[in-house]
Structure 1
Amino acid sequence: MSTKQSVLTGWRWLRWLPPTLAALLIGLACTATERPHRPLTVTVPVAGCAADGGRENRQEANPSPADGPPDLAEWEAAMVDYGRRRGDDLLGESNFQAQLNMQYYDAQRVFLQIADYTGDDDPWQRYADAAESTYKTYLEKNDFQIAGYMRFPHGLFMDWRRNGDEQSREYLFRLRETGAFATPEDPAYNRLWRDSRYSREIAYAIETQVLAERAGAPAQTYRKDLYVDMALDHIDAWLTGDFGHNDEQWRFCQAFMAGLTASALIAYDDHLESTGRDRDPRVLARIETLSDWLWQTMWVAGVGGSRGDWYPHESSTLGAFEYVQPSVEGVGSEDPAPDLNLLIAPMYGWLYAQTGAARFRDRGDAVFAGGIAMASLEQNKIFNQNFRSSFDYVEWRRHDASAVED
């Protein structure tokens, strides 16, 4: 085993070192050998947000094994180790605003997923209960009149399905009906929310619609269809650069926002099939194009540095997506952001399960590996965002698809 391989394979012990020392060791390991370069198997037009970007990825991901992501054991270890730490932090916090911040990205969902994955109720149910109490208190204090980016339906749905909590089911239904971004049929909102600056809020609204239906609420087909049309418009804006306005502060793409939109559209499309309806052909086509576009225009194949100072490092075997394309003052720069990789990986796992195309498996594993190795899990929010939907990636990646060459 090479020096590079031995250091990166045993990445877990690096987490116990000071960030600067860990970054130095990773940098030394990454320069030990040259990383093989493979040309892209599929290319897309460089348009939209990427037209003004400073980089373009021309490298394909290295081939992955068919039986599952190579870094699965590391993901599982981080899930349990850091999950216990973050759960204990939540239990030990007495300030409500701090608790609410720790809950962001739906900590209840995260802890219940860990419980289901490991088969252990304790301590994960206790952590989930604390997150549930915090979120329900927030909803009650605001009479459910909440911001669209605070709409987190999954934990409530899972609590009802897993534990039979009828209050969680009731709160899920109210979450669908109340608060910002609840009425897409309003003519003013119908037009306004097609602006991609609202992509996260629309993604969360789609997921709330789907989960409420799964919990037995009457379908709101008209509203749901409007949300889906809006989400597809957001993808088109990122891909083409046609944002419908000239406000330079909002003419950009963030890969993690694209990941949230993709996850919502996938939930919608899978729900159609699970209820005996035909899939929406627009979803697979758009997400496939989006994933190719993100890989070619926003993927940084080699990343070095440490949290707060990530940068392209050609010899590194670890990659991440740029935070934003192009750089926008007040939003962020094109520097890589590995903390967000695992919000983006799921679309590649789903595409692999749907199509069997090897590039989605290989790219997804590269995104997954970069997130596991470089994400800073010392903050509850970042831990939650890394384990919000990466369980979906693991499930789809294990799909028995016969990989086909692109």
Structure 2
Amino acid sequence: MFRRLLCAAQLLTVFLSAGGAGASDVVPIPALTQWESNMTTFGRQHAAYLAAHKDDADIDGLVGGVAYYDSARVYLQIAAYTNDAAWKEAVADSIHVYRDRFVIASRHDIAGHLNFSDGLLMHFKQAKDPLSRDTILAMAKLRWMREENIIPTDSCESSRETAYAIKTILNAQALGFPKGKRLETLVTTAIGHYDQWFVAKSATYVRPFMAGLTAEALIDYHAVSHDPRILPTIKLGMDWLWANMWVPSAGAFRYTNVVTKEGGIEPTADLNLLVAPAFAWLYLQTGDPVYRDRGDQIFAGGVAGAYLTAHKQFNQNYRWSFDYVAWRQQKPVKEKKAPAVPVAQPAQPPAVPAIDATPYREALQQALQVIGKGLAVRMTLPVMGAATDVDVVGADAHGVIARVSGNDLPVRWKDVADADLAQLSYLAAKSDKAVLTNAWHLASITRMLDLRTQIGGRLLAIDPEAFRELAK
């Protein structure tokens, strides 16, 4: 993993510099400048939040929020890409939260969906910190990485855990961890997940970002094994996703191919950049410009449509996308098209009708005005055009009152995004069922699934029957 990322950083230095060798032969990446600008603008905001909250008592909230999806890896890549040492503080804060306060405090026995070792490996290689090395080696002996731990091979519900386990064992082996059968078992299981999604169609649902996480792990494995199964597997999956789940008008993949309780078939640009690098890799391997052009559409759609104000979404967008940029700057290994792989293409799901958020917004705005001066909510809102940590202390017909450094500043309702309004209402509502219900709907419309889950949990505690009807 580290070797591949280091190579990517070196390639970026060559191809993005003026007059770099071969640069004129590379088709420009659309939205690259905006991707770079978003990286630093939003990255600084999240890094500042991390610095201010790294020792908060709620470690689970930090690991599942500002550090989720491997913030150490994200900031290390930003530091390398920008050649700006100022990002080292965010790296150190990420390591402090994830490695020291979470993994080591948990005796390295962590849940599979929180198994992030790439940032630790990069940190060890860069900072020569033996504790990061030892943490990876300890993680590789537990949970999904254990030889005796049986992974269910007949269900892709464990695809994310399987992908992360592959990456941690690969990273541990790069540090001298002994080779065993476990890695090959995990890889075969991951390939089986692609079969369940795209061939046998035995999976209950397909989510493109899950296929992207699996693709990343398999590509990492291919880099050290050259396993001939990997290229056709990923090609099959990406061909199916493009044919069946890409929504051109939205510049995004559908969240899921069917409606589920966690989410439906609405386009979700936030997750594009967890998939786009697989297309760049296919272009690099096959030379087929179809994958370059499709990848560019996915990349540009993600840059334009992602909600980067949220911690998790920012990390999702900058976790793997550096490899997209690096691979797109290289000439393909082959210059001819790869043979087409026939893929069964079921009917395209019906277009998703737009859901009007206005009734929910209006109801929540009125409710917050009633609460009025009783408000006392800490959150991030746009103040004077910039996302700022504020204390919301009131609301009136015009908007909310945000207290910043002792000063009360108005934020107009039209400047409060749907997602922020849903979060504010949830934090302010406490046990008000009507407010929570409207906030739940608004969180659903804006695809804030974690927030919707939190709201649903509170509604369930207040009125279980009403919540079950709502969630149908």
TM-score bucket (shorter structure): 0.7 to 0.9
- Candidates 23, 32, 49, aligned match of 1:72: 32
Amino acid at match of 1:284: L
- Candidates 38, 46, 53, aligned match of 1:86: 46
**2-side partners of 1:241 and 1:266: how far apart?**
22
**2-side partners of 1:194 and 1:203: how far apart?**
16
Count of residue pairs the alignment pairs up: 308
Q: Is residue 390 from structure 1 mapped to residue 315 from structure 2 by the alignment?
A: no
5+ residue gaps in structure 2? Answer: 1-24, 339-472
**2-side partners of 1:194 and 1:182: how far apart?**
18
- Candidates 357, 375, 381, aligned match of 2:306: 375
For the aligned residue pairs, the C-alpha RMSD in angstroms reads 1.6
2:448 is aligned to none
1:207 is aligned to 167
Q: Is residue 172 from structure 1 mapped to residue 119 from structure 2 by the alignment?
A: no
CA contact (8 A) 1:300 1:336 kept: yes
> Percent identity over the alignment?
38
Q: Is residue 261 from structure 1 mapped to residue 225 from structure 2 by the alignment?
A: no
**1-side partners of 2:200 and 2:215: how far apart?**
18
Deviation of residue 174 (structure 1)? 0.8
Deviation of residue 185 (structure 1)? 4.2
**SS at the partner of 2:85?**
coil
Query: Which structure carries more relative contact order (alpha carbon 8 Å, separation 6+)?
Result: 1
**2-side partners of 1:403 and 1:79: how far apart?**
32
**1-side partners of 2:78 and 2:291: how far apart?**
25
Q: Is residue 237 from structure 1 mapped to residue 200 from structure 2 by the alignment?
A: no
- Candidates 104, 116, 120, aligned match of 2:80: 116
1:300 is aligned to 247
2:120 is aligned to 156
**1-side partners of 2:302 and 2:160: how far apart?**
21
Amino acid at match of 1:238: W
- Candidates 279, 288, 299, aligned match of 2:235: 288
**2-side partners of 1:76 and 1:200: how far apart?**
28
**1-side partners of 2:43 and 2:289: how far apart?**
32
The farther-off stretch of 149-158 and 394-403 is 394-403
1:354 is aligned to 285
Q: TM-score, normalization: structure 1?
A: 0.73
CA contact (8 A) 2:219 2:230 kept: yes
Amino acid at match of 2:220: A
Q: Is residue 252 from structure 1 mapped to residue 205 from structure 2 by the alignment?
A: yes
Deviation of residue 385 (structure 1)? 0.4
**SS at the partner of 1:280?**
coil
Deviation of residue 286 (structure 1)? 0.6
CA contact (8 A) 1:82 1:378 kept: yes
The farther-off stretch of 230-239 and 97-106 is 97-106
5+ residue gaps in structure 1? Answer: 1-64, 244-249, 273-278, 304-318
CA contact (8 A) 1:159 1:165 kept: yes
1:311 is aligned to none
- Structure of higher CA gyration radius: 2
**2-side partners of 1:405 and 1:302: how far apart?**
27
**2-side partners of 1:361 and 1:332: how far apart?**
29
Q: TM-score, normalization: structure 2?
A: 0.63
Distance 1:237 1:75, change over 3 A: same
Q: Is residue 135 from structure 1 mapped to residue 98 from structure 2 by the alignment?
A: yes
CA contact (8 A) 2:218 2:230 kept: yes
Deviation of residue 219 (structure 1)? 2.1
CA contact (8 A) 1:241 1:251 kept: no
**SS at the partner of 2:137?**
helix
CA contact (8 A) 1:184 1:226 kept: no
CA contact (8 A) 1:185 1:226 kept: no
Cα deviation 1:140-192 (Å, max 9, x = unaligned): 222112110010001110010011011100001111112x3122544xx24x1
CA contact (8 A) 2:254 2:267 kept: yes
**SS at the partner of 2:30?**
coil
CA contact (8 A) 1:196 1:234 kept: yes
CA contact (8 A) 2:166 2:217 kept: yes
**SS at the partner of 1:102?**
coil
The farther-off stretch of 201-210 and 139-148 is 139-148
**1-side partners of 2:211 and 2:28: how far apart?**
24
Deviation of residue 241 (structure 1)? 4.1
Amino acid at match of 1:281: P
**2-side partners of 1:373 and 1:162: how far apart?**
32
**2-side partners of 1:86 and 1:224: how far apart?**
34
**2-side partners of 1:66 and 1:148: how far apart?**
39
Cα deviation 1:269-322 (Å, max 9, x = unaligned): 0122xxxxxx1111000101111000001100111xxxxxxxxxxxxxxx1000
**2-side partners of 1:195 and 1:392: how far apart?**
29
